[in-house]
Amino acid sequence: MIKTISSRVNLSIIDIFYTGNIMMIIIKMLNAEEKQILYQVCKKIRYSIPCFIRTFDMCARHLIEKDSLLSCFAMMKNLESLTISNSRIEKNGLPLITASLTNMHHLHTFKFSRNHIKLNINKIDKFAQSIANIKNLTSLDLSRNYMKSNYISIFAQSFEKLTGMKSLYIGYNNIEDNGIASIAYSLTKMSQLEELNIACNSISSVGATLLVPSLNEMTKLKLFDISYNNIESYGVISLAQSFIKMQQMTSLHMISNNIETAGAISLAQSLINMKKLITLNLEANNIGPIGATAIASSLANKENLTLINLESNYIKPNGIATLALSLETIPNLTSLNLNYNDIGPEGCALLAPSLVRMTQLKTLEIMYNNIGSEGAILLAPSIKEISQLTSLNIIHNNIKPADLSILIKVLQKYHK
């Protein structure tokens, strides 16, 4: 049996290696010359090793239609993980993948993302049905496929059958509220789900509200990403009802949703129950000083929390006061982003004493805060004491060159 095949032109095109019972194929197609070599390699291996392959990772940038590589799929009956991304899939390409999926009874991970598909409803329907029949599937990534609402609705029945799913990624598809409405009931069947990504889908507060019954069933959810939508405060108020039950949550991402103060206050009440939270990303939500104060109070003493991103939230000095006091009670915080919050020198005066107690902090972002030379001088002694600090972003703060040089000297002396 062939154990190793390697073909290289400049960069690796295809590497196939066998370790124990794991066979992996990693493919990078860069130009026509390499593509031709890839065809020849696939022709050689087609009848040799496909049945032994467990993991197949195909990240191409060329046309996928009838090439030798896809012809191998039908024989990969023991495949456990399949990735097809960054490809143009046309004409016979999708039906060939669909037919191959019907034989992959051991498949548990399928990543089908960033593909430029010339969509045909009938072909998409058969593709969705083939996914639904993969009984062992636990992780499905359909993100960045430009599906929109009319195409995501085709997957509704498939999602309903995938009751053992643990990870579902359907972000960056612009499915809108209509798309959420079409799959909402199906998602209620995924009670075992641990990761759900629906970022960048043009979802409003209406769509967020439609998600509530589904989220109520997902009590095991650990990661939830609804970033780059527009759910606003009403959407968060609706979602908060479900968030209260999510005591296993470790990573919450809600970037750019304009949740404002009211949404932040509602969210804060839910965050109190998320004892295992590791990452909180609320960038660009216009929560303001009052919203920041509410969020800060809910984060106090969270031992697992390592990353907080509150960039672009108009926190100002009034919001920094409570936030600073809460931050010093979070023992394992390693990354803090307060960019674009107009905290000024007054905010630096409030933040500085707390920074000294953030002994594990490695990354501090405070650019575009109008802190001036006064703020930089106030922060310098505290920054000196943060022994773990490896990254400090303090640009665009109207700091005089002479005062900036003082801060640089502190960094050079105490953070080599």
416 pLDDT band, cuts 50/70/90, is low
- Residue 25 has what pLDDT? 47
In this predicted structure, the answer to whether residue 133 has a pLDDT above a threshold of 60 is yes
Per DSSP, 154 falls in state G
- Taking the alpha carbons at both ends of the chain, their separation in whole angstroms is 53
What was the pLDDT predicted at 345? Answer: 97
Please list the alpha-helical segments (H only) found in 120-257: 121-132, 148-152, 156-161, 176-187, 205-217, 232-243
Q: Tell me the mean pLDDT in the region 69-76.
A: 64
State yes or no: pLDDT of 202 exceeds 50: yes
30 pLDDT band, cuts 50/70/90, is: very low
Q: Please report the pLDDT score of residue 40 as a whole number.
A: 63
Q: Where are the domains of the chain?
A: 1-134, 287-416
Which residue has better confidence, 165 or 47? 165
* Rounded alpha-carbon distances, angstroms, from residue 399 to 104, 161, 236, 318, 394: 61, 59, 38, 22, 9
Q: What is the pLDDT of residue 316?
A: 97
Residue 117, pLDDT > 90, answer no
Residue 280: per-residue pLDDT: 98
Q: What is the pLDDT of residue 77?
A: 75
Predicted confidence (pLDDT) at residue 369 exceeds the cutoff of 90? yes
Q: What CATH superfamily is the domain 287-416?
A: Ribonuclease Inhibitor (3.80.10.10)
From the number of C-beta atoms within 10 Å of its C-beta (0-12, 13-18, 19+), residue 413 rates as exposed
Separation of alpha carbons 30 and 102, rounded Å? 30
Residue percentage of the chain with pLDDT more than 90: 65
Per-residue pLDDT, averaged over 289-310, amounts to 97
Identical fold between 1-134 and 287-416: yes
Q: What is the b/e burial string over 272-284, where b = at least 16 CB atoms within 10 angstroms of the residue's CB?
A: eebebbbbbbbbb
Q: How far is Cα 275 from Cα 330, in angstroms, rounded to an integer?
A: 12
Helix (H) or strand (E) holding 25: strand 22-28
* Average of per-residue pLDDT values in the chain: 85
| Residue 93: predicted pLDDT | 75
The confidence score (pLDDT) of residue 281 equals: 98
| Topology (CATH level 3) of domain 1-134 | 3.80.10
Higher-pLDDT residue of 250, 71: 250
Per the model's pLDDT, the better-predicted residue between 122 and 206 turns out to be 206
Note whether 154 and 121 are within 8 A (CB). Answer: yes
364-372 average pLDDT score: 97
- Does the structure show a pLDDT above 60 at 29? no
Q: Which amino acid is at 80?
A: E
Nearest Cα to Cα of residue 50 among 75, 27, 31, 28? 75
Work out the average pLDDT over 126-155. 92
Residue 4 has pLDDT above 70, yes or no: no
What's the mean pLDDT in 29-42? 57
Q: What per-residue confidence (pLDDT) applies to 122?
A: 80
| The pLDDT of residue 415 is above 80 | no
> Quick one: pLDDT band at residue 119, thresholds 50, 70, 90?
low
- The radius of gyration of the chain's CA atoms, rounded to the nearest angstrom, is 25
Worst-scoring range by mean pLDDT, 149-158, 234-243, 269-278, 353-362?
Answer: 149-158
pLDDT at 22 over 50: no
pLDDT band at 218, cuts 50/70/90?
A: very high
Q: What is the pLDDT of residue 57?
A: 76
Confidence of residue 151 (pLDDT cuts 50, 70, 90): confident
Range in 42-51, 53-62, 90-99, 171-180 with the lowest mean pLDDT: 42-51
